[in-house]
Chain A
Amino acid sequence: MTIDIPFIWVAFKEIIKALPTTLILTIVPLIAGFLIGIAVALVRVYKVKYLYQIANGYVSFFRGTPIIMHIMVIYFGFPLLLDQISLKFGLGIQTNKIPIILFILIALTLAAGSYLSEIIRSGIISVANGQMEAAYSVGMTKFQAMIRIILPQALAQSIPNFTNIFVGFLHTSSIAFLVSQKEITGAANIIAGVNLKFLEAFIAAGIIYWGLTILVEGLSFLLEKKVTAYNRGGVS
C-alpha cells in the first residue's frame, strides 16, 4: 500500500468541479439562517410572549441534535408529508421530482438559523449595560438604541463566531454526500471508488477544504482587525 502522489493532482482536478455545489450548500443556508437568527435572537432577548418558548425550543432542539439527523429526517420525512398533503388536496405534486439539494438546503438553513441566533444573542448580551443606558440618556428609543448602538457592537464582537459558523457549515456540507449529493466529499468518494485510491482522493478533498478555510479565515481576520482595533487583552 503506497501513496500515489500524482493521482492526488488528478483527483484534485476532478473534485474541484464540485466546488460550486459545496459553496451553494454553505452560503445559501447561512444567508437564510442569518435572517432567522436575528429574528429568533431578538425574540429571545426581549422574551416576547408565546414566541419566546417556541424560539427556545427551536434553538435548543436544532443545536441539540446532530445536523445529519436534520438532513435525514427532512430527506425522508418531507416527501412523505408533501405526498400526504398533495393527496388530500389533489395537488399532484410529484415528490420524487424535487431535487435532493432542496431538502439539504432546508435542513441546513434550519440548523444555521439556530446556531446563528445563539451567536447573535450572546453578542447582544455581551454589550455592556452602560451602552444601553447611554443611548437612552441621549434620548434614543429602544429600537434606535438596538439598531445603532447595540447591534453594531454585538455583530462586531461576533465576527470570530460568524467565521467559525461559516467554516463549520462549509465542513458540515460534507455530510450531504451521505444522501448522495455530489459535492466535494461526494465527488472525492466517487473518484476514490472508481480508482480504488481512497487516501489520495480524500487528501485532495482535504486540501480543497483547507484552502477554502484559510481563505475565509484570512478575510475574517482582516475584517476583525479593522473592527476591533481598539481592544487589547491577555498576557501579551
Chain B
Amino acid sequence: MGKAFDIMLIFEFIPTLIHYLGVTLQILAASIILGLILGIAAAIPRLFRIPLLNQLVILYVSFIRGTPILIQLFLVFYGLPAILMLLFSIDITRMEAIYFVIITYALSNGAGFAEIFRAAIRAVDHGQTEAGYSVGMTGRQNFFRIVLPQAVRIAFPNMANSVIGSLKDTSLAFTIGVMDMMGRGDTLISATAHALEVYISLAIIYYTIVLLFEKLFRMLEKYHNRYQKADVTAVA
C-alpha cells in the first residue's frame, strides 16, 4: 500500500465506477415511473375526499413520510418475502435485490408525488376557481382548464427535486447488496483500502449527474413559467 491519500487513484476509480451508473439510473427510472402512477392514484382519493380510500392514502403517505428510506428498504427486503410466503406461499427470497430496491423507491416516490400533486392543486389561488365558476364553468371544466395547468407549473420544481432526491437515495441501495455504483465502491474499498478516494470519485459522479438533471429541469421550468411576469419577487 502506497500513500495515505493518492489523488491519481480518483481518476482511476471514476471509469470503473461509472460502468455501474446504468444500474443506478435503471433503479431511478423504474421507481419514478411506478411512483408517478402510484402518486396519481393516491392523490385522487385525497383531493375528492373519497371515504375509506382517503384514510388509507393518508396512512400510506404518513408511513412513507414518517420512516427513513433505509428502514423502508429493510422492511421491504425482509418483510415482503415473509408476507407473500404467509398469504400466498410464494417464495421470493431468491429474487434479486434490485427488485426490492425498485419496489421500495416506487412506494416512496408514490407517496411523495401524491403529496406534491395535492399540494400543487391546493396552492392554486382560490380566486381562480371562483373566476372559473363565475364564467359558468362546471367543476370538471374548472379543474382541467384552470386549476390543473397552473398546478402543473407549481408542482414541477417539487417533482424535479424529488427526482433528484430519489437519485441521491439510490446510493443507499447497496445496503441490501445491490451492485450499483456504491456497491462497486464498497468492493473497491475492500480491494484497495483507499476509502476516501472511492467516496470522492462517487461524489464527483453523483454531482455531475445531478448537475445535468438540474440543467434539464431548469430548462423545463423556464418553459412552464413562460407566461409569468418576471417581476414578482421582493428582491431582484
A and B interact: yes
Interface stretch of the complex, out of B14-22, B30-38, B96-104, B199-207: B199-207
Partner of A167 from the list B65, B79, B210 (CB cut-off 8 Å) is B65
Instruction: Mark out the residues of chain A between 60 and 91 whose CB falls within 8 Å of any chain B CB in the assembled complex.
Output: 60-61, 63-69, 72-73, 76-77, 80, 83
Which residues from A are CB-within-8-Å of B202?
69
* CB <8 Å contact, A3 and B195: no
**Can you list, as one digit per residue, whether each of B130-143 has a CB less than 8 Å from chain A (1) or not (0)?**
00000000000011
* CB <8 Å contact, B47 and A210: no
Known: A132-B235, A175-B70, A236-B122. A66 touches B47 (CB 8 A): no
Partner of B233 from the list A67, A129, A211, A212 (CB cut-off 8 Å) is A129
Tell me, yes or no, whether B234 is within 8 Å of chain A by CB.
Answer: yes
In the complex, the chain B residue whose C-beta lies closest to that of A214 is: B66
Tell me, yes or no, whether A220 is within 8 Å of chain B by CB.
Answer: no
Which residues from B are CB-within-8-Å of A3?
82, 86
Which residues from B are CB-within-8-Å of A188?
71
Q: How far is B76's CA from A198's CA once the two chains are assembled, in angstroms?
A: 11
- How extensive is the interface on chain B, given as a class? 35 or more
**A42 → chain B closest CB, angstroms:** 10
**A170 → chain B closest CB, angstroms:** 8
Known: A65-B206, A80-B5, A213-B67. A73 touches B147 (CB 8 A): no
Where the two chains meet, the residues of B that have a C-beta atom closer than 8 Å to any C-beta of A are 4-5, 47, 62-63, 65-72, 74-75, 78-79, 81-82, 85-86, 121-126, 129, 142-143, 147, 164, 168-169, 171-172, 175, 182, 195-196, 199-200, 202-203, 206-207, 210-211, 214, 231-235
* Apart from the given pairs A76-B199, A185-B68, A209-B68, 9 other A-B contacts in the complex at a CB distance below 8 Å: A65-B206, A66-B169, A76-B195, A83-B4, A128-B233, A167-B66, A199-B75, A206-B72, A213-B66
